[in-house]
Amino acid sequence: MSSSVTYTRLPWAETYSEIIDVRSPSEFIEDHIPGAINLPVLNDAERAEVGTIYKQVCSFTARKIGAALVTRNIYQHLSQHFAAKDPDYHPLVYCGRGGQRSISMAVVLTQIGWQVTVIDGGYKTYRNYVRQQIEHLPAQFNYQMLCGLTGTGKTHILEKIRQRGAQVLDLESLANHRGSLLGGQWPGKPISQPSQKYFESLLVQHLQQFNPQEVVWIESESIKIGQIYLPQSLWQKMRQANCVEIQLPIAARVQFLLQEYPHLITHPDVLKRKLEKLKNRCGWEKLSQWYQLIDAGNWESLVQDILHCYYDPIYNHSTKSYFSKAYRFLSIPDLSDCSIENVLDSLLPNYVAIQ
């Protein structure tokens, strides 16, 4: 005997075999519940076709055509994705507003005999939840800011902190951007940032995994990472956080950046175009000097001068403006594992590296 569809407005309170987003691929890409899979009952072209018929012809014709398309697509999913699911399979299904698309899928699955839960209100219910969490959740944690000039390996050190078992919020990883002029798109190195909405979904997911009784380590960032904006609730807590500043010799910083950004060397023309965006700040004379260094392949001198003329002044101004609370300075000779481990021994005396 088939079971009936269950509805919930609190899908995050339970565990499911799978989370299925039946919206179109473009809706899914813009935002979805992290971990969900996309099994659209109407793809983008089909959804547009049905919508046009609904507006220009009549709703009855649109529903008939839509039902045929939905039935065909659900058949494909049944014969492929669902073919090997066992009798205890219990999926969560949602569409845009908890309407016909999710119900169409859920009814078929329950007729097979599976227990199916549908989000009442669909994605809209989930999005409202994320917006509420974004407003209040970041305030529940105390943050420890890791600061340092460009090239001091802050992201690299954060990963070492995470490996020791401490709580780390890597915003650049969530935003899929290195957070600087040279941290975006490059030939052969495609970078696609998430939408603002999906970034917020990922941020909520990560914060919910943390213990409010323990500090959260976070890298000093501007309020904008690439095209992504940090929520004000998190930004204000970051500005109030105590800071640990990593200090590294300029030569070590240059070598680290050349290792981290090899595409600077392999795509000199792209590098020139990116540096051209600094003409209003640095002037054409300085740009010409940089172009000469690029043409000569003098990469160490180039990187050092860009740090001296652009990145370091920007960092010093921003940290004084935004992150001015309780500094602790830690000097290291290089970013070797040994040097970093020595620093972490003083920063995290109670944490042992995870083997």
Are the CB atoms for 346 and 330 separated by under 8 Å? yes
Hey, what are 128's tokens? Answer: 């409202």
The identity of residue 87, as a single letter, is P
58, 95, 243, 309: the active-site residue = 95
Which residue in 252, 257, 250 sits closest to 299, CA to CA? 257
Q: What pTM does this model have?
A: 0.90
Q: What is the pLDDT of residues 321-333, one digit of tens each?
A: 777 666 788 999 9
CA distances from 116 to 19, 22, 84, 107 (A): 10, 14, 16, 8
CA distances from 78 to 37, 41, 116, 277, 327 (A): 15, 11, 14, 52, 58
Per the prediction, the chain carries an average pLDDT of: 91
Q: What is the pLDDT of residue 122?
A: 97
Q: Give mean pLDDT, residues 45-66.
A: 92
The three-class DSSP label of residue 34 is: coil
Q: Say whether pLDDT at 338 is over 90.
A: yes
91: exposed, middle or buried (Cβ count in 10 Å: 0-12, 13-18, 19+): buried
Q: Give mean pLDDT, residues 146-172.
A: 94
31-35, 324-328, 350-354: lowest mean pLDDT where?
350-354
Are the CB atoms for 20 and 136 separated by under 8 Å? no
Query: With pLDDT > 70 as the criterion, what percentage of the chain qualifies?
Result: 93
Task: Identify the residue whose tokens are 């040279």.
Answer: 182
CB within 8 A of 208, min separation 6: which ones?
A: 133, 137
Are the CB atoms for 256 and 335 separated by under 8 Å? yes
Are the CB atoms for 287 and 332 separated by under 8 Å? no
Which residue in 150, 121, 81 sits closest to 318, CA to CA? 150
9-13, 159-163, 176-180: lowest mean pLDDT where?
176-180
HSE on the CB side for 293, CA within 13 Å?
20
Q: Say whether pLDDT at 160 is over 80.
A: yes
How many Å apart are CA 183 and CA 313, to the nearest integer? Answer: 18
Q: What is the pLDDT of residue 264?
A: 82
How many Å apart are CA 333 and CA 329, to the nearest integer? Answer: 13
Q: Give mean pLDDT, residues 37-66.
A: 93
Q: What is the pLDDT of residue 1?
A: 43
Which residue in 119, 75, 120, 121 sits closest to 93, CA to CA? 119
> Mind spelling out the 3-state secondary structure of 114-159?
CCCEEECCHHHHHHHHHHHHHHHHHHHCCEEEEEECCCCCHHHHHH
Q: What is the pLDDT of residue 355?
A: 44
The CB-based long-range contact list for 290-299 (8 Å cut-off, 24+ gap) reads: 294/268, 295/268, 297/265, 299/258, 299/264, 299/265
User: Is 95 marked active-site?
Assistant: yes
Q: Say whether pLDDT at 263 is over 90.
A: no
Q: What is the pLDDT of residue 319?
A: 77
Q: What is the pLDDT of residue 191?
A: 64
Hey, what are 178's tokens? Answer: 């290195």
Query: With pLDDT > 90 as the criterion, what percentage of the chain qualifies?
Result: 78
Q: What is the pLDDT of residue 327?
A: 77
Domains in the chain, please, with CATH?
6-132 (3.40.250.10), 141-347 (3.40.50)
Q: Say whether pLDDT at 178 is over 90.
A: no
Backbone torsion region of residue 121, taken as left when φ is above 0, otherwise alpha when ψ lies between -120 and 50, otherwise beta: left
Q: Say whether pLDDT at 188 is over 70.
A: no
Label residue 60 by pLDDT band (50, 70, 90).
very high
* Angle at 199 (CA atoms; ends 196, 201), nearest 5 degrees: 115
Q: What is the pLDDT of residue 202?
A: 98
Backbone torsion region of residue 226, taken as left when φ is above 0, otherwise alpha when ψ lies between -120 and 50, otherwise beta: left
How many Å apart are CA 318 and CA 35, to the nearest integer? Answer: 36
How many Å apart are CA 172 and CA 220, to the nearest integer? Answer: 10
Q: Give mean pLDDT, residues 214-229.
A: 93
Q: Give mean pLDDT, residues 202-211.
A: 97
Q: Say whether pLDDT at 4 is over 60.
A: yes
Q: What is the pLDDT of residue 127?
A: 98
